[in-house]
Amino acid sequence: MIVALMAMMLMTALGLSLVLTTSSETMISGNFRSGGEALYAADAILERSMDDLLTIPDWNKLLDGSLQSGFIDGPPSGQRTLPDGTTLDLGQVLSFANCNLPTTCSGPDMDAYTEERPWFVNNPRWQLFAYGSVGDLLPTGTINSPFYVVVLIGDDPSESDGNPLLDGGPPIQLANGNVPNKNDGVGVIALRAEAFGPRGAHKVIEMTVAKTDTTELERGYTGQRGQDEQNRRARKAAVQSPGKALDMQTLSGAGGIS
């Protein structure tokens, strides 16, 4: 009987170990899948926002928050409830992006030097541009996703005009009366997409967007694609020239961007 009891205890211990291992592997695979889905969700809302940018000729109205995307689910504040029951506060999302604080940021808070925001008075003043559930990206409702996405918009950090609410600073006039690089920094803004999902899944993508001489847009990624909450937010570096041009992002007629 003693030998049988010992054998039963051993088999029970082995069974529990197997159950724990299986549960851990399931959680790991689930978190990995959620992380990948969050990255794709953030990329999707960026592409959706690009369509709206093509219809807005004056980007200064984006930087001061007076214009927003057509993809919104209510006022740009307050809490949103995710499918898993967790809540997301849009005001806190904006504050964390602007000064890494959960409360409303003051001017000195946003001008402060940090590793992620090393441009002082030229630090972007992020504004809420687009926000909503990924399932609402298509009117047909065919997207089955528990993620909530947000797009923030701000001034290009490569500018040094000291006015992050202005798309390009005033022209600099030389002693001989010439105005070099009159349009330097004009038509270049930064976008920041964040995706929030179950079990704390969170990814961030940042990129710059620039107007071209045609009705197209160019973009360049300025931060690492996909940063989770443990790695904080994506670090951004000033980009003087945007990346490759987007395909099929054009408008014909007078409504295009020139």
- DSSP character string of 12-46: HHHHHHHHHHHHHHHHHHHHHHHHHHHHHHHHHHH
Helix (H, G, I), strand (E, B) or coil at 51: helix
Distance (Å, rounded) from C-alpha 164 to C-alpha 23? 49
Averaged pLDDT of the chain: 76
**Backbone CA torsion sign across 61, 241, 71, 87:** negative
Distance (Å, rounded) from C-alpha 63 to C-alpha 54? 15
**How confident is the model at residue 256, as a pLDDT?**
36
Mind listing the pLDDT tens digit for each residue in 115-163? 888 888 989 999 999 999 998 988 887 888 899 999 999 998 777 788 8
pTM of the model: 0.71
Q: Is residue 7 part of a domain?
A: no
**How confident is the model at residue 220, as a pLDDT?**
63
Boundaries of domain holding 85: 31-169+182-252
User: Once rounded to an integer, what is the mean pLDDT over residues 56-76?
Assistant: 90
**How confident is the model at residue 2, as a pLDDT?**
84
**How confident is the model at residue 181, as a pLDDT?**
45
Helix and strand element counts for the chain (H, E)? 4, 7
Q: Is residue 10 part of a domain?
A: no
Name which of 161, 181, 163, 185 is nearest 173 in CA terms. 181
| Structural domain count of the chain | 1
The secondary element (H helix, E strand) that includes residue 196 is: strand 188-196
Q: Is residue 22 part of a domain?
A: no
Confidence of residue 50 (pLDDT cuts 50, 70, 90): confident
Which long-range CB contacts under 8 A does 63-67 form with residues at least 24 apart?
63/125, 63/127, 63/153, 63/154, 63/155, 63/164, 63/165, 63/166, 63/167, 63/189, 64/127, 64/165, 65/127, 65/128
User: Once rounded to an integer, what is the mean pLDDT over residues 59-78?
Assistant: 90
Better-scored residue on pLDDT, 235 or 144: 144
User: Once rounded to an integer, what is the mean pLDDT over residues 58-82?
Assistant: 91
Q: What angle do CA 233, 107, 226 make, to 5 degrees?
A: 10
CB 51 within 8 A of CB 114: no
Q: Is residue 18 part of a domain?
A: no
Position 87 pLDDT exceeds 70:
yes
Q: Torsion angle of alpha carbons 53, 182, 63, 242, nearest 10°? A: 50
Name every residue whose Cβ is closer than 8 Å to that of residue 237 and which is 6 or more positions away in sequence: 222, 223
Q: Is residue 14 part of a domain?
A: no
Confidence of residue 196 (pLDDT cuts 50, 70, 90): very high
Q: Is residue 137 part of a domain?
A: yes
Distance (Å, rounded) from C-alpha 258 to C-alpha 248? 16
Better-scored residue on pLDDT, 28 or 251: 28
Distance (Å, rounded) from C-alpha 121 to C-alpha 107? 9
User: Once rounded to an integer, what is the mean pLDDT over residues 197-209?
Assistant: 89
- Amino acid present at 104: T
Distance (Å, rounded) from C-alpha 42 to C-alpha 59? 22
Q: Is residue 174 part of a domain?
A: no
Position 17 pLDDT exceeds 50:
yes
Distance (Å, rounded) from C-alpha 92 to C-alpha 66? 20
